[in-house]
Chain A
Amino acid sequence: QSVLTQPPSVSAAPGQKVTISCSGSSSNIGGNYVSWYQQLPGTAPKLLIYDNDKRPSGIPDRFSGSKSGTSATLGITGLQTGDEADYYCETWDGSLSAVLFGGGTKLTVL
């Protein structure tokens, strides 16, 4: 059971938009930066979003991040079949002195 709660799965049609939520508490999301990672099957995770809403160079603007209070959200627009992957949120927890990952969300593009 992860401290950061993500839905196990989401799905949408190609071209549509999807959002993935990540819920935490004041000791983690509420007081620290949130990052998001994409893990394609059989590959290492890849940084998608950092500092809550910033994209590294090379990440298309179809991917967006936001944070409000103790929750964060990853948005993906213009869905493509190549976006099918597992997505993880991540942040620091000041009370636990630990890095936390969400349980992961499997995105299916129907």
Chain B
Amino acid sequence: AQSVAQPEDQVNVAEGNPLTVKCTYSVSGNPYLFWYVQYPNRGLQFLLKYITGDNLVKGSYGFEAEFNKSQTSFHLKKPSALVSDSALYFCAVSLYNNNDMRFGAGTRLTVKP
């Protein structure tokens, strides 16, 4: 079965600095990879996904992620962090049709002014 690891529980960055939230995956097959963001007491909001094609995926709110097959990673990045980016970020992986989407444990991003 597929799985996702987010090695960092917490990431702290200063506003204006670049941010990276790490994600590695394990699947037997071609992965479909996703990033979601969750604000307090809210559901998940879709940021971006990788299905196939260009390894660099651009998503909502200026976020992007790079699929690295050799390192089985899909790190989330943003060139310049905003305080409003502070939230809980989840990486997820599935095979084919989302019927079995697995989420990472989540990484809490805090952007300080």
A and B associate in one complex: no
Interface residues of A (CB under 8 A from B): none
Interface residues of B (CB under 8 A from A): none
